[in-house]
Structure 1
């Protein structure tokens, strides 16, 4: 079971780092309101630009904690709980602007994976 938990931590941690560091300024079919980048997506949600950086900092920190948790087990549950809360917030934002289900899938998937990490 420990191997499964580590794989799930890698999926969430690397997935978040990919979105926030490599794909921050790129359009994807999963962005809210078909925004062309992260700033435009937050604008579509009606959120201030400063919140992009705060949310990014929190998500990157939690992702790094999940990855470091492979070696430092005490980081895993706090990071998974925090990331689950962030994913719940992302789902709420997608629902707020009536995005389609495809756009909600990444946040929903990561929420479920974080809950699995906590449960394991």
Structure 2
């Protein structure tokens, strides 16, 4: 197993578990999604996608296909976050975390991509 992949999986998995669960009721997340112009159900849906992504990424330590799918879900979710920040005209600094997480999710997908083709 690729050490870089395992490190990415642990970091992304723990981070997305934390932020995913926060989306279920954290005042900061509730206020943030209102600011972005999204309804409450979309915040919960996003949190669910993030938790599922985290579970896939962590389970991917033992199954590369799951790691690839988790990386794809993370990259797609962060692409949506980037477009949301662009939509509300945030600064580049405010977009840095979603951009970094998009790159890390994409890297995880690419490292494990071969398992999707089998």
TM-score after normalising by structure 1: 0.83
**Residue number in structure 1 paired with 2:69:** 78
Q: CA deviation at 1:104?
A: 0.9
Please report how far the alpha carbon of residue 95 of structure 1 lies from its aligned counterpart in structure 2 after TM superposition.
1.0
Alpha-carbon separation, structure 2, partners of 1:67 and 1:116 = 15
CA RMSD of aligned residues (A): 1.7
**Gaps in structure 2 of 5+ consecutive residues:** 112-118
Q: Can you list the C-alpha shifts for 1:63-103, whole angstroms capped at 9, x where unaligned? A: 11101110122201111111100000000001111112222
Point out the structure with the larger helix share.
2
1:100 lines up with 2:91 in the alignment: yes
Q: After the TM superposition, list the runs of 4 or more consecutive aligned residues in structure 1 that deviate by more than 4 angstroms.
A: none
Query: Which consecutive unaligned segments of at least 5 residues does structure 1 have?
Result: 26-35
1:87 partnered with 2:78: yes
TM-fit CA distance, 1:21: 2.8
Displacement of 1:22: 5.4
3-state SS in 2 of match to 1:75: helix
2:4 is aligned with 1:4: yes
Q: Deviations over 1:37-72 (max 9, x none)?
A: 111111111111111111100111111110111012
* TM-score, normalised via structure 2 length: 0.84
User: How many residues are paired up?
Assistant: 110
Measured at CA, do residues 64 and 38 of structure 1 come closer, stay the same or move farther in structure 2, by a change above 3 Å? same
